[in-house]
Structure 1
Amino acid sequence: MTTPAPAPVPAQSAPTEKWNVLSIVAFVLSLVGFNVIAIVLGFIGLNQVKKTGERGRGLALAAIIIGFVSIVIIIIWVIVVVAVVASNPELTTTY
């Protein structure tokens, strides 16, 4: 008597690593211009990545860096605009 052939084993795909959603959202928001929210979510996502081992550490760091740099650039731009307007009173004079 012959033994039946074993059932074929389904091919297993390589395990995919899970991405941290907050890191992705923070990165997208930093590119769109919601810098303060992106910084907060970036720090939360970075903390979650450290605890869970998920992917997304680079995205969280990028969101934090882009958010802070964008805020600094906006502050510098406002200072320059105020200085130019203050040094040229004829720019604000109405006729």
Structure 2
Amino acid sequence: MSSPQYQGYAPASAKTNGLAIAALVSSFFISLLGIILGHIALNQIKTTGESGRGLAIAALVIGYASIAFTVIFLVVVMGTAAANR
């Protein structure tokens, strides 16, 4: 009879990048700040190996989409106002 093999402790999970969290939160309120922090967080994650890449990418997507929707909305509103003149 063989004795059971015990596994050691699981390795500690990587620390989540704080800027990635801040980028995601700020992208809902100030899109440009979320984009800037998201790019900085991606660079830090690449160099340090921290986790949070998905958070930073989500912040970038939300920030860029929010700015794109705002620009489209302004173009439509101004076009409508100019057409009704």
Report TM bin, short chain: 0.7 to 0.9
- 2:25 equivalent among 24, 28, 31: 28
Aligned AA (2:23): A
Q: 3-state DSSP class of the match of 2:14?
A: coil
How far residue 16 of structure 1 moved from its aligned partner, in angstroms, is 3.2
Match of 2:57 among 46, 58, 61: 61
Higher relative contact order (CA 8 A, sep 6+): 2
* Count of matched residue pairs: 77
Corresponding position of 2:84: 88
Secondary structure in structure 1 of the residue aligned to 2:61 = helix
Q: Scaled by the length of structure 2, what TM-score is found?
A: 0.84
Code of the aligned partner of 2:14: E
CA offset at residue 54 of structure 1? 0.5
Percentage of matched positions with identical amino acids: 44
Match of 1:47 among 43, 48, 59: 43
* Greater Rg by CA: 1
Which 5+ residue runs of structure 1 have no aligned equivalent? 1-11, 90-95
Query: 4+ residue runs of structure 1 moved beyond 6 angstroms?
Result: none
Q: What is aligned with 2:14?
A: 17
Q: What is the match of residue 37 of structure 1?
A: 33
